[in-house]
Structure 1
């Protein structure tokens, strides 16, 4: 019997660098996570690839999947839907593989309700001024959208208490090392390890 995989949820306010940290983690050869690609109705940014960074869907298609119950979580954020396909996540965890989700804060709340045993990590900015600087540097949003994102970010930071760990994204390399250490520690939790040893004792 396989030990169930660990659901790792990385979340945080828009502009904090979730995508950058996730890509850095997955560029390291010593990790064996399965990345669950999120689905969104927003347009691709420059360099983003459908099926690699996101599954880009029309609003009509996304709403159809909501009705069919095919999403583990979903949220509407600044006029666009974001969500996680449910079947892939459940099958991968059952096969003993860790699944890594990079999602918005509202979506993480929904996942916590369905998978309370998951590992929830909040990626925090060093400061609000640095967060604004990162959003502005993107060059993809209007001033109105930037201010909207900052207001939402303040609300999201206030929801930090819903997470197990907080990692400050001061430098991408430091954030990656902290996240890796947290995952190793979670795999060593007595609650996860003990059932396997009890099965060994029963066999002997």
Structure 2
């Protein structure tokens, strides 16, 4: 893939870390500057989720066939379901001249780092595992065994997030406004001011 336009922004963090909330706020506040790369998934839609908006909902056979054809930048299996970022989804955002934002898991980050996308990598850190568990339980969307699996995965993700060199910045989300401010400050330092211009490519 050829580098065109501004560098993509990758947000990673355990389920319940608040990365989706930060992402929604960023996209709402700066709709002309950021565009969300809609991932593919084989899981069923949750209430209120729309195909092509929250995810491209697909099935395992179709997704495996697309991966085989080299149509994905990164894929991962999470809680028994497949997730992935297609080249087309990223290109769709970049052609508008906006910064493409990816919300991906740990395995996806490892794969994206091997591409020539040169993304800005942000890890959203929960205050503690205890707080993360409280947030996940408050959602009341999963059975106990599924919740335990999520917490085990979260521990591995936090360990990966803390390793030097894996991310450009770690944002502690113990206060949403502060975390959002830290995110905006990081982006403004690393993204060209005229990022809304499609032809402005800023390669370091």
TM over 0.5: yes
Residues 91, 126 of structure 1: CA spacing in aligned structure 2 closer, same or farther, 3 A cutoff?
same
1:139-181 Cα offsets, whole Å, 9 max, x none, are: 1111101111111111111111211101112233322221111
Is the contact made by 1:5 and 1:92 (CA closer than 8 Å) also made in structure 2?
no
Distance 1:23 1:188 in 2: 22
1:18: how far off? 2.1
Distance 2:192 2:121 in 1: 16
Aligned to 1:108: 109
Aligned residue pair count: 192
Which gives a bigger RCO, structure 1 or 2 (Cα 8 Å, sep 6+)?
A: 2
1:119: how far off? 0.2
Aligned to 1:166: 170
With the length of structure 2 as denominator, give the TM-score of the two structures: 0.85
Pairing partner for 2:190 from 178, 186, 190: 186
Instruction: Tell which structure's C-alpha radius of gyration is larger.
Output: 1
Distance 1:171 1:15 in 2: 14
1:116: how far off? 6.1
Structure 2's unaligned 5+ residue stretches are 194-200
Structure 1's unaligned 5+ residue stretches are 196-204
1:87: how far off? 2.6
Distance 2:25 2:84 in 1: 22
Distance 2:34 2:116 in 1: 17
Is the contact made by 1:14 and 1:104 (CA closer than 8 Å) also made in structure 2?
no
CA-atom RMSD, angstroms? Answer: 2.4
Is it true that 1:36 corresponds to 2:37 in the alignment?
yes
1:6: how far off? 1.5
1:79-103 Cα offsets, whole Å, 9 max, x none, are: 0011001134246447643111111
